[in-house]
Amino acid sequence: MPFSFVHYLQNKRIVLASGSQRRQEILSKLGLSFDVVPSKFPENLDKSNYTPFEYVIENATEKGLEVYGRLVQEDQEVDIVIAADTIVSIDGNILEKPKDTEDALRILKKLNGRSHQVYTGIALIYPLTEPVHPGYNIITFLEETEVIFRECSEEDFKVYVETGEPMDKAGAYGYQGLGSFFVEKINGCYYNVVGLPSKVFKELEKLVKDKEI
């Protein structure tokens, strides 16, 4: 266990407000122990009211608050909730998970041979030590990574869509899987493209050092 703050957090209840296997794998790599409580937030925000980075921050915040509030109502102990939302954006338009195979193919063709942005919004929610309304604090931040797709054929995309891999991925591709075939280059945090940027660990370390949790 290379980081002292990780050792400290072993005695804390960390809750990941996401059912994403990829996010769970990233947290596990650091050696953190955590519980998985997927958020029930419907993610029905009107995209037209937000910029891409505002949208992911708001989604992550709402996801985290839903889980935190539910645990508090159930009188469950929680030291910190980690919530995340990841989207792909191109030309200022938000691309989330495809609705069906036709939508997945449409998205991939839109990304073909071009640069796009992957945004992940993070919300860290933890109880205050003093009984002050609303009883918790929220830290939010954003990570942006540029991804450049190489030129691919429509047949390549069709074969990929048939694997089923893109159907639960923002932007209709998984960089950690077969989707990496389409990627020529990334500029920025690799883990952000997967769904949980490494900055999460820096923020957790800061909270521990500042004795916030």
Beta carbons within 10 angstroms of residue 90's beta carbon: 18
> Could you list the active site residues?
85
Question: What's the confidence (pLDDT) of residue 1?
Answer: 45
CA distance 83 to 45: 16
Structural domains counted in the chain: 1
Q: Which amino acid is it at 139?
A: I
What's the pLDDT at 79?
Answer: 97
Per-residue pLDDT, averaged over 92-118, amounts to: 95
Which CATH number belongs to the domain containing residue 153 in this structure? 3.90.950.10
Q: Provide the CB-side half-sphere exposure for 185 (13 A, CA).
A: 4
Q: How far apart are CA 13 and CA 79, in angstroms?
A: 5
Residue 35: CB atoms within 10 Å:
13
Distance of CA 178 to the CA centre of its chain: 19
Tokens, residue 12? 């804390």
Residue ranges making up the domain that contains 88: 4-209
Q: What is the pLDDT of residue 134?
A: 87
Residue 145 binned pLDDT confidence (cut-offs 50, 70, 90) = very high
